[in-house]
A = this chain, B = another copy of it.
């Protein structure tokens, strides 16, 4: 299987410049060990997803641009696609299951997306039908080289801002972000260890790496974690990237995730969603043996206000 290269990521960096926030690295003077956060929650839709989407849209030819794009993710990817499509003047259709979060659907509508609501079991079929009948282009959340290359710009920026970090920690859901970041960092800073992080309760990627083949956990099983962005499984493409380029995956507990969310808000003054807090959770819980300055990617910040309020108010450190 063909893996993406650093050149793909550099080309993506040229395409996303000016369309995404060039996020700074934030030092953490409150941490006892040298620690930096890469705050992708600062992107306009609150997640790194915008990077891959902008890169993917830049690849469309004139006919595809004319017809528009479609996805069936109603989470951060759907919002990112709706936002980026509007910025380029493209029509965007999002197929959402009945019962999807009204807040998220409202956000996609605000970005001008056409919402097609269907019973959950019909999402794939409806999407396929839209592709055929209306000539729309499918923009998947992670299973495409252009998406992975776009997410990899996060890794390139980390290496621009911090010479030779000891460890870079990246949340793993579908694996697009981790695949891209590992590709960039391994090339640009060969001495740096790149680790994925996921919740124990959605530890399918860790198990896949351990057994050496793609393992899928059922949605009923991964639904147990509050880190909704990590519930999805890898694809063959992202698994191939992670197996070749990641130094390992560590897992964290639900309490560790909540605690990290609170610390990020109180001490670093940014809002992380549960999936966005897993990398810091791994550092705080001591699940990563120290090795030089550490960078934890905060992948997103789209969290229910009630959960945010709860984690902020619970125990404070120091």
Contacts and interface: CB of A to CB of B under 8 A. Distances in A.
A21 interface: yes
Contact of A313 (B110, B265, B305): B305
Given A301-B269, A305-B313, A42 B26 contact: yes
- Label chain A's interface by main secondary structure: mixed
A171 to B, nearest CB: 16
Interface in A81-113: 83, 103, 106-107, 110-111
Contacts of A83: 29
A308 B265 contact: yes
Interface string A21-61: 11110110110000000010110111000000000000000
A24 to B, nearest CB: 5
Interface string A299-318: 00110011011101100101
Contacts of A262: 305
Contacts of A29: 44-45, 83, 110-111
* Interface range for A: 35 or more
A55 to B, nearest CB: 19
B309 A305 contact: no
Nearest to A87: B29
Given A42-B39, A42-B269, A305 B301 contact: no
A160 to B, nearest CB: 12
Interface in A170-212: none
Nearest to A83: B29
A269 B21 CA distance: 14
Contacts of A266: 271, 305, 308
A270 interface: yes
B306 A313 contact: yes
Nearest to A309: B313
A287 to B, nearest CB: 24
A137 to B, nearest CB: 23
Nearest to A28: B44
A86 B318 CA distance: 20
A108 to B, nearest CB: 11
Contact of A27 (B22, B44, B107): B44
A173 to B, nearest CB: 18
25 contacts: A22-B24, A23-B24, A24-B24, A26-B42, A26-B44, A29-B45, A29-B83, A39-B42, A42-B270, A46-B269, A106-B318, A265-B308, A266-B305, A266-B308, A269-B301, A269-B302, A270-B270, A271-B271, A305-B312, A305-B313, A305-B316, A306-B313, A308-B312, A309-B310, A309-B313
Interface of A: 21-24, 26-27, 29-30, 39, 41-42, 44-46, 83, 103, 106-107, 110-111, 262, 265-266, 269-271, 301-302, 305-306, 308-310, 312-313, 316, 318
The 8 closest A-B pairs by CB, nearest first: A269-B301, A309-B313, A269-B271, A309-B312, A41-B269, A309-B309, A21-B24, A308-B312
